[in-house]
A = this chain, B = another copy of it.
Amino acid sequence: MEKYEKIPKGFKFYGTHVGIKKKRKDFGLIVADELCHAAAVFTKNTFCGECIPIGKENVKDGKLQAVVVTSGIANVATGKTGRANEYKIMEKLAEKLTIDQENILPSSTGVIGPQLPIKRIEEFLTQEVLELEQNYENFAHAILTTDQRIKVHSLKVGDATILGIVKGSGMIEPNMATMLAYILTDAKVDKEVIYPMLKAAADQSFNTISIDSDTSTSDTVAFLASGHYDVEQTALQAGLNQISKELALAVVKDAEGATKTMFVTVKNAQSQEQAKNAGKSIINSPLVKTALFGNDPNWGRIAMALGKTEGLLFDQNKVEIYYGKYPIFSNNKEEQQNSNNITTYIEQNDEIYLTIDLHQGTESFQVIGCDLSYDYVKINSDYLT
């Protein structure tokens, strides 16, 4: 696929260094030629960043024309000054791009607490010409914190294109990772269905991953449709779901210090929610995560994590635990004959598939996590070095 074929019609990009970070790009824009139908989902963290309430307000009418991202400072816990700074940026931008301020979605990611260097940003926006580009690369770089790489996926649905750009995980400074994802399409999407479409896709993708169980204060996933092509809605939803899953997986693959990815499917639960809760309990268990890092086929920790799931009751006699295709626990006893195969399976694969069969219903859910390594501790404790 040619590079420019990946980009849906009607969007331009921008990414540069304005001086929030020391050297790397820290200011990014997505600008649509016309007003788009749009939707966004946001962090549930009560201590949310100043961008979050502004973004919620601005996307409420189902319309957006631009996204602005600052990286390096999260603009969280910054009070009235932080809120005012965000409005100053949006005001300057609206003027410069001749679009309505109410159609801009702001995002910010980085350290919690400090104020943005607002004077520097305002000077930049006053003095510089913003040369928007066809290519998303500078934008994709401008939104990173300690991500190892830019994370971009695209696909075609009929004539239309869906492009997704995400950042997540990694630190250059001591703060939690923020997940920001922007999904663009030139398909036509009705204002009434764009939010439910995004919500459905996010629930099966971004909401199924966990790197360290810590919910960022700034998470945002936005979906903008420029409306150039008519596409069958089911096909578009399928494409949106796939891009969302690819982006979510890209975040876990770039997780801080991680060496392995684990896919945990809980089968035959009473509800999807029950299956998801059980899966999350497993991928968030420090003991399951450290065992995975050590290539240790320690299924007892999986049993423990399953058992501590809030509100989950089950019959130990019915539970089965698999590594890949190998059962390690069934009929309430260890399947010792599979131990060697499982050890080899874990040692030789970076993607580990675990299946828990509860045998108490018909619903399944898969969640995705990673291991807990020395490097996770290093990245998140090395403040002064």
Contacts and interface: CB of A to CB of B under 8 A. Distances in A.
B217 A304 contact: yes
B303 A112 contact: yes
A48 B316 CA distance: 9
A306 interface: yes
A324 interface: no
A317 to B, nearest CB: 7
Given A214-B285, A286-B380, A372-B377, A333 B79 contact: yes
Interface of A: 44-48, 74, 76-81, 111-114, 174-176, 212-217, 284-287, 290-291, 293-296, 298-301, 303-309, 312-314, 316-317, 319, 329, 331-334, 372-374, 376-378, 380-384
Contacts of A290: 376-377, 380-381
Tell me what chain A mostly uses at the interface: helix, strand, loop, or mixed.
loop
A350 B97 CA distance: 54
A75 to B, nearest CB: 11
Contacts of A377: 290, 293, 372-374, 376-377
A77 B334 contact: yes
Contacts of A331: 79
Nearest to A328: B113
A287 B372 CA distance: 12
B303 A217 contact: yes
Given A112-B301, A300-B76, A307-B48, A376 B217 contact: no
Contact of A304 (B78, B114, B214, B306): B214
